[in-house]
Amino acid sequence: MVTTGQRLREERERRAITIAQAVEGTYIKTDHIVAMEADDWAAFTAPVYLRGFVKTYARFLRLDEHQMVVQLDRELSGTDVFEERHTASSGLRRGVLDFLMMKLALQRWQVVLSASVGVAVIAGLWSLRPSKSGGTPASIGAPGVSVRLYQPPGESLADTTLPLPTPAPVTNAVPSPRAPARN
């Protein structure tokens, strides 16, 4: 029976594709392509990565990727390459953080992000509405800010004149004598 690695290598050679071209076309490291073609499954850290690489490589070579993964699973079930890694991690206790991270990973982030943006837009528009006291929320109670920030279109500052300051009243009073300066 032809193994998964042999099928991948034979198809690559049949199409006259070099390993360098396969690396460039799949973005898989050279070491991993060589390991896949040699059926060296121990070069991979987890079966999930191996399955992903085989699917990507099979798609690049225009092979049936589903069929290749099924064949790979049959080959992996007969070996114990990933068995000790799986049993070592299965004894871990699951805590609250693991539960929350799993729930967050299962969210549809497109929906959550769209809803968050919608709420932010509505909150921004709500904060810009005029208040019942007549001024904008930024001008009410702010020191040094006039409550009347908006000028109606009919009034312009060029038409308004400011009153001239009145001079202080002049008195003919005699200045008070100053105390003599001390040396």
Query: Using one digit for the tens of pLDDT, what is the confidence trace for 4-13?
Result: 999 999 999 9
Residues 105 and 44 in one domain: no
In a domain, 156, yes or no: no
pLDDT of 1 over the 90 cut: no
Which of residues 90, 117, 137 is at a domain's end? 90
Look up the CATH number of the domain holding residue 22.
1.10.260.40
Q: Which residue has the higher pLDDT, 144 or 113?
A: 113
Region 79-86: mean pLDDT is: 63
Domain range enclosing 21: 4-90
Residues 113 and 45 in one domain: no
Token pair for 173: 């009073």
Helices (H), the chain: 4-14, 19-26, 30-37, 47-60, 65-77, 83-90, 96-105, 109-128
What letter does residue 80 receive in the DSSP assignment? -
Decide if 162 is inside a domain: no
pLDDT band of residue 88 (cuts 50, 70, 90) is very low
> So what's the pLDDT on residue 169?
77
Q: Looking at the structure, tell me whether residues 119 and 75 fall in a common domain.
A: no
Nearest to 13 by CA among 61, 74, 55, 59: 61
Q: How confident is the model at residue 127 (pLDDT cuts 50, 70, 90)?
A: confident
Place 106 in a pLDDT band, splitting at 50, 70 and 90: confident
**What share of the chain has pLDDT > 90, as a percent?**
37
Q: How many domains does the chain have?
A: 2
pLDDT of 95 reads 82
- Boundary-marking domain end, from 69, 90, 111: 90
pLDDT at 14 over 60: yes
Rounded average pLDDT over 94-117:
81
Phi, psi angle pair for 180, to nearest 5°? -65, 145
Classified as helix, coil or strand, 78 is: coil
Q: Which residues of 76-86 are buried (b: 16+ CB within 10 A; e: fewer)?
A: beeeebbeeee
Same domain (yes/no): 24, 74: yes
pLDDT class for 87, splitting at 50, 70, 90? Answer: very low
81 and 49 fall within a common domain? yes
Per the prediction, the chain carries an average pLDDT of 79
Using CB atoms within 10 Å of the CB of residue 182, give its burial: 0 to 12 exposed, 13 to 18 middle, 19+ buried.
exposed
Q: pLDDT grade, residue 175 (50/70/90)?
A: low
Contact 12, 22 (CB under 8 A): yes
Residues 65 and 19 in one domain: yes
User: Per-residue pLDDT averaged across 67-75, rounded?
Assistant: 92
Confidence of residue 114 (pLDDT cuts 50, 70, 90): confident
Residue 86's pLDDT is 43
Domain check: are 32 and 101 in the same one?
Answer: no
The reply to whether 113 and 77 lie within a common domain is: no
Asked if 17 and 82 sit in the same domain, the reply is yes
Residue 127 to residue 124: CA distance in whole angstroms: 5
So what's the pLDDT on residue 154? 59
